[in-house]
Structure 1
Amino acid sequence: MMNQDTKVNSLDAKLSMAHIYVAFIALVLGGTAGLLQTLVRSGQFILPAGIGYYQLLTVHGVLLGLVLTTFFIIGFLFAGLSKTSGTLSNRIRFYGWVGFWLMTFGTALTASAILTGKASVLYTFYAPLMAHPTFYIGLALVVVGSWVSGFAMFIHFAKWKKLNPGQASPLLSYMAIATMILWLIATLGVAATVLIQYIPWSLGLVDTIDVLISRTLFWYFGHPLVYFWLLPAYMAWYVIIPKIIGGKIFSDSLARLSFVLFLLFSIPVGFHHQLTEPGIAPSWKYLQVVLTFLVIIPSLMTAFSMFATFEMYGRSKGATGLFGWFRKLPWGDARFFAPFMGMLIFIPAGAGGIINASHQLNQVVHNTIWVTGHFHLTVATTVLLTFFGIAYWLIPHLTGRIMTKAMNKLAIVQTIVWVIGMTFMSSAMHFAGLLGAPRRSAFSTYGDSAQALEWIPYQIAQAIGGTILFIGIILIIVIVANLAFFAPKGETEFPIGEVEEAAEKTPMILENWKLWVGIIIALILVAYTVPFIEMIQHAPPGSKGFSNLL
């Protein structure tokens, strides 16, 4: 059994912290761009110095949706593997640093293209919008760097398996590997479209690209990206939170099964983002919508497991009645409070996701700012609040410091500020979306129609929410800087929960990654092979489908 007192090796800690530093720098820059966006949409603010609205929109989406999340997740996973599967070898650590610098250099290239006004192509970079080649080359380097880190994790995990034959792997390590398997399979799509289509096109080597194929490859990646964001949050919910509250993990096998199901059902479902697009047969869209809805199953399993953990803990402390356990939870501990608020907000976020994936209901909200509001509930609230909660113990553990009571109180305030700000902004986005307000649009493009005038109060509410959220960003940066550089020296626990004694033994079939990856590949082939063949067969000659969607 793993020694709970084991500290993450100092060299491994430096690797993890390097990723975390980049993540929070991206939060500041991307958050600033987000604030300016909401001010512009309010109609009360004009951008200075020739800054373009869509330039800001691209900065915001790329830095927060891709850079912040990817760097933080990889830093967290390296720390988790070092803690639960043993100190990283020099070779694994070297590959980790290679991955880090490739990602960082790629981020710098992409950011330079955006900031110089050569890549205002939005977060989704759909053709026919074309960016400077450095934008696409930078994105490719970020993906390749993450692959290097991912394969380093796989090698480290395989070494543990070899040294411990027939044993169930540590739960946190198992989840880390599942997360990176998801990422590597999903990013094959965006890597393919960037390397094969966008880079040659932007360099002038080809005149046209097939837009439908480029969008399909992007959304093959774009939907599982959401679960790449969510799975590390689930790792904290399943494994870390029970230890923080003083309880036990409800079920090891249920946790592993939920991660396997997320892998199976989150990748071959990109068509539900393309329900309004021509060129894809309705039957294939229907199949992928069905697979999309199946992901609700592991989501409900996670909710059941977490609230079972909370209730068992509360009962052990003498709670009675239906919800008596609720009062026994450690509300004054920011390590618990921030992720718990993320869990609660995931309830309406999940409901919105069901609407987005439903063919008929999607017609009402498609390409409206409702969709943006949904993303802000999922990644910008559920995921980010959980990441903040992780940072409150992970950073001091890695830097050899402790979180003081003052910083804990400030973290509680930060969580409340974030929830209030997001309530204003996301609610306004959802309501404006129901009134038809488009996403990806500045206020100046709305005109003065009666419908556009209906949207103005909601745009102002978004600006209020964005301002409050920016205050939340300032607070989290103060806390992170304190925990990294100024907090008192000391020992902070890396909390790893223990499984409830009465839980069923974990079936070893859940450890059979060859089986699960094989099933994933089979599902992808079923969902995409025929549609891709049809896209290629029916592409107009010469134009390769480009003119169809101009």
Structure 2
Amino acid sequence: MNETVKVDRRDAKLALAHLYVAFIALGLGGLAGLLQTLVRSGKFTLPANISYYTILTTHGVLLGLVLTTFFIIGFQFAAVSRTAGTFSDRVRFWGWVGFWLMTIGTAITAFFILIGQASVLYTFYAPLQAHPGFYLGLTLVVVGSWVSGFAIFAHYARWKKEHPKQVSPLLTFMAVANMILWLVCSLGVAATVLIQLLPWSLGLVDRINVLVSRTLFWYFGHPLVYFWLLPAYMVWYAIVPKIIGGKIFSDSLARLSFILFLFFSIPVGFHHQLMEPGIDPFWKYVQVVLTFMVAIPSLMTAFAMFATFELYGRSKGATGLFGWLRKLPWGDARFFAPFVGMVFFIPAGAGGLVNASHQLDQVVHNTIWVTGHFHLTLATTVVLTFFGAAYWLVPHLSGRVMTKAMNRLAIIQTIVWVIGMTFMSGAMHFEGLLGAPRRSAFSTYGNSPQALEWIPYQIAQAVGGTILFIGIILVLVIITNLAFFAPKGETEFPVAELAEGAERTPLAMENWKLWIGITVALILIAYTIPFIDMIQNAPPGSKGYKLW
């Protein structure tokens, strides 16, 4: 396998530009999140008549969409350049086009949120309506990400042409799979924004079908979670083994898990709509079954990762059932942060099973339990893995090295994040079980006995949010140092080798026509009939826009 040792300087600039925007979004979105928790505690009032829902929207959009999309695409550009060779001038040009479209779209979207014209929350559900500029900005972000995705596809196609009958590098394969997932699922949000919400906000139509818009959003919204998660899996499968000094347990297993995520992450949006009327229970049941199928690649990943850790530990002389744990490099932040993210994925996954169950979801639906779950999956598992990746990625791209002092600070940052998230997410889960609603400011609760019962948990969330904001400041200090002030030198882009004796990866793994065909078939099975039913049987008040 031909692998470049270092990402080409021109490709590194493209990747770094994405990472800079991602960490700026982390700082601004994190500040909005801190203000949210303070308001919810009842001990703080926003100045200048700023709406709680303005900062809620700012927090959700900047962290849920901007931070993740920019970091993922920047990381994937770097990973593909590292493993499949330097980009051509044309691929790099379109990468920059995608970056600027996304950046301009982000600026437009943020502007209309901050002036109070788009306080429509992270999910921007109708009948909440934003300024047309908000929807235009979101459209540019999505289109820009598509351009970047096709740039990656073009480079992958060139590699395949130059290496016939060879299996592509694992990280390149994973980046391609994740961008296919993103392109397919983001068609849903593009459809609802362009065909429904934008014409509606411009006054071209009076009414839209709200159930259709929510369905299109969650067709996108749930696989969005896996768009976030799969780059973390890329780090776990292909990079963490190299960092600890081990090898990849199974290349085929890693690729199969990504293919299964492609199959089972998109046609499952109804499990976010289990409490909504207008969707036949049978189709909800079908999508719940498909949702639970996602547990299979997750368990495969857990098996592969802990097999890698144990094999490494045994090679260093570990004995006993858990002796290998002592052999892992706990003092290396590049390993420590992603490993902690893996551990938090265990309770996060358990909470996801609750949310996806038709019966259990009735207890927690639309409570702040869901927000707590969200902060375990994205804000802990994914974000900590991204931080761990940034600790070698940023210095590799900027031509610098991570000092012992920065490594120590990164270990402290991870511990601070764990403490803060334990307070905040734990309190959200318990408060949700007591029935506290999500998306609501303290002032909306009143003085009922039930609302008074929630107050200790809201204060705990404020404590946790404050600690988390300290964690954000620490990581921004580290990244700024690694990008601009750390000593110059060579930092490795770690890519693990396959373990000796592992099975050979079959070429059939890259039969994309088959995998995409199966994905489309599952989507058509899960959505066609219920979607037709939503349009034909829409309530009279929502029919004002032909079939939509």
**TM-score normalized with structure 1 length:** 0.98
Amino acid at match of 1:77: Q
Preserved CA contact (<8 Å) 1:239 1:497: yes
Amino acid at match of 1:190: V
Preserved CA contact (<8 Å) 1:345 1:377: yes
CA distance in 2, matches of 1:428, 1:545: 43
How many angstroms does 1:377 deviate by? 0.2
Question: Partner of 1:49: helix, strand, or coil?
Answer: coil
Partner residue, 2:73: 74
Residues 399-427 of structure 1: CA deviation (Å, up to 9, x unaligned): 00000000000000000000000000000
Query: Where do 1:418-437 residues align within 5 Å?
Result: 418-437=417-436
Amino acid at match of 1:146: S
Amino acid at match of 2:62: L
Partner residue, 1:492: 491
Amino acid at match of 2:434: L
Residues 123-152 of structure 1: CA deviation (Å, up to 9, x unaligned): 000011000000000000000000000001
CA distance in 1, matches of 2:539, 2:178: 39
Amino acid at match of 1:86: G
Preserved CA contact (<8 Å) 1:373 1:430: yes
Partner residue, 1:2: 2
Query: Where do 1:191-270 residues align within 5 Å?
Result: 191-270=190-269
Partner residue, 1:185: 184
Size of the alignment, in residue pairs? 545
Query: Where do 1:33-182 residues align within 5 Å?
Result: 33-182=32-181
How many angstroms does 1:350 deviate by? 0.2
Partner residue, 1:395: 394
Partner residue, 1:320: 319
Amino acid at match of 2:476: I
Partner residue, 1:284: 283
Residues 102-125 of structure 1: CA deviation (Å, up to 9, x unaligned): 000000110000000000000000
Cα RMSD, aligned residues only: 0.8
Question: Partner of 1:20: helix, strand, or coil?
Answer: helix
Residues 477-512 of structure 1: CA deviation (Å, up to 9, x unaligned): 000000000000000000000011111111211110
Residues 1-47 of structure 1: CA deviation (Å, up to 9, x unaligned): 2346x110000000000000000000000000000000000000010
CA distance in 2, matches of 1:511, 1:218: 29
Question: Partner of 2:158: helix, strand, or coil?
Answer: helix
Question: Partner of 2:464: helix, strand, or coil?
Answer: helix
CA distance in 1, matches of 2:265, 2:227: 10
Amino acid at match of 2:492: E
CA distance in 2, matches of 1:183, 1:325: 37
Partner residue, 2:502: 503
Amino acid at match of 1:177: V
Preserved CA contact (<8 Å) 1:539 1:545: no
Partner residue, 1:468: 467
Preserved CA contact (<8 Å) 2:250 2:502: yes
Residues 501-547 of structure 1: CA deviation (Å, up to 9, x unaligned): 1111112111101100000000000000101110111013463289x
Partner residue, 2:535: 536
CA distance in 2, matches of 1:267, 1:541: 30
Query: Where do 1:19-30 residues align within 5 Å?
Result: 19-30=18-29
Amino acid at match of 2:329: P
How many angstroms does 1:294 deviate by? 0.1
CA distance in 1, matches of 2:542, 2:99: 39
Instruction: Summarize the Cα distance change of 1:379–1:91 in structure 2 as closer, same or farther, 3 Å threshold.
Output: same
Residues 289-339 of structure 1: CA deviation (Å, up to 9, x unaligned): 000000000000000000000000000000000000000000000000000
Residues 449-490 of structure 1: CA deviation (Å, up to 9, x unaligned): 000001000000000000000000000000000000000000
Query: Where do 1:407-418 residues align within 5 Å?
Result: 407-418=406-417
Residues 160-198 of structure 1: CA deviation (Å, up to 9, x unaligned): 000001111000000000000000000000000000000
Identity %: 79
CA distance in 2, matches of 1:3, 1:275: 47
Partner residue, 1:348: 347
CA distance in 2, matches of 1:224, 1:111: 24
CA distance in 2, matches of 1:269, 1:230: 16
CA distance in 2, matches of 1:543, 1:143: 27
CA distance in 1, matches of 2:539, 2:479: 53
CA distance in 2, matches of 1:542, 1:251: 55
CA distance in 2, matches of 1:21, 1:171: 26
Question: Partner of 2:247: helix, strand, or coil?
Answer: coil
Instruction: Identify unmatched segments of 5+ residues in structure 1.
Output: none
Partner residue, 1:13: 12
Preserved CA contact (<8 Å) 1:128 1:211: yes
CA distance in 2, matches of 1:149, 1:13: 15
CA distance in 2, matches of 1:134, 1:542: 26
Amino acid at match of 2:193: V
CA distance in 2, matches of 1:258, 1:2: 24
Preserved CA contact (<8 Å) 1:370 1:432: yes
CA distance in 2, matches of 1:542, 1:384: 42
Preserved CA contact (<8 Å) 2:369 2:431: yes
CA distance in 2, matches of 1:77, 1:464: 35
**TM-score normalized with structure 2 length:** 0.99
Preserved CA contact (<8 Å) 1:212 1:545: no
Instruction: Summarize the Cα distance change of 1:318–1:201 in structure 2 as closer, same or farther, 3 Å threshold.
Output: same
Partner residue, 2:272: 273
CA distance in 1, matches of 2:271, 2:122: 18
Question: Partner of 2:542: helix, strand, or coil?
Answer: coil
Partner residue, 1:479: 478
Preserved CA contact (<8 Å) 1:175 1:256: yes
Preserved CA contact (<8 Å) 1:103 1:144: yes
Question: Partner of 2:44: helix, strand, or coil?
Answer: coil
Instruction: Identify unmatched segments of 5+ residues in structure 2.
Output: none
CA distance in 2, matches of 1:468, 1:397: 29
Partner residue, 1:361: 360
Preserved CA contact (<8 Å) 1:219 1:273: yes
Preserved CA contact (<8 Å) 2:368 2:436: yes
Amino acid at match of 2:105: G
